[in-house]
Amino acid sequence: MTSRTIQAHCTSLDPPSLAHLHARGTAIAHCPLSNAYFSAAPFPLREAIQQSVTVGLGTDVAGGYSLDIMDVMRQAVITSRMREGAKMMAREKGTLQESEVRSLSIDWREALYLATRGGALALSLPRGCGLFEKGAPFDVQCGQWPSILKSLHNAET
């Protein structure tokens, strides 16, 4: 594994394995719907983020039904909230082993980052890719841009 390696799914990784990926500079392509279809467990996204592993979202059409990155962003948020809910239920039952992770859920801002900058870093794209700032390269499908703007606007109001 090197900084040019992108691992897919990684649903069974524990904290030491995530630390190893970070140390090697290896990135992860997170495909939440594919994981739901074909894995016994969801990807430990919050733990990967907490360990500074580079994570980008992927549209795994072999294990999904859409190429739309906005769908994957929603699925990542949903999956993370389900993990947080399961953690809360385990806490109530007294079966939770406390960890260093506070909240397992991510919000739309983190999902947007994973879909843009996270993916650009995972793919080692040129400097500035995946950023929303003046002078940065801009690459978007025209059909998606109006819905992205609307989603961002609605989230701010």
Predicted confidence (pLDDT) at residue 111 exceeds the cutoff of 80: yes
**pLDDT > 90: percent of the chain:** 57
For the chain, state the CA radius of gyration. Answer: 16
Asked if residue 119 lies in contact with residue 57, where contact means CB atoms within 8 angstroms, the answer is: yes
DSSP 70-95: HHHHHHHHHHHHHHHHHHHHHHHHT-
Q: What is the mean pLDDT of residues 25-35?
A: 95
**What's the pLDDT tens digit per position in 55-86?**
999 988 777 778 888 899 999 999 999 999 99
Mean per-residue pLDDT, 119-134:
90
Residues 6+ apart with CB under 8 A from 54: 25, 26, 27, 28, 118, 121, 122
Residue type, 21: L
Q: Is the pLDDT of residue 23 over 90?
A: yes
pTM of the full predicted structure? 0.83
Q: How far apart are CA 123 and CA 95, in angstroms?
A: 39
Q: What's the confidence (pLDDT) of residue 152? A: 65
Domains of the chain in start order, with CATH, are 6-156 (3.20.20.140)
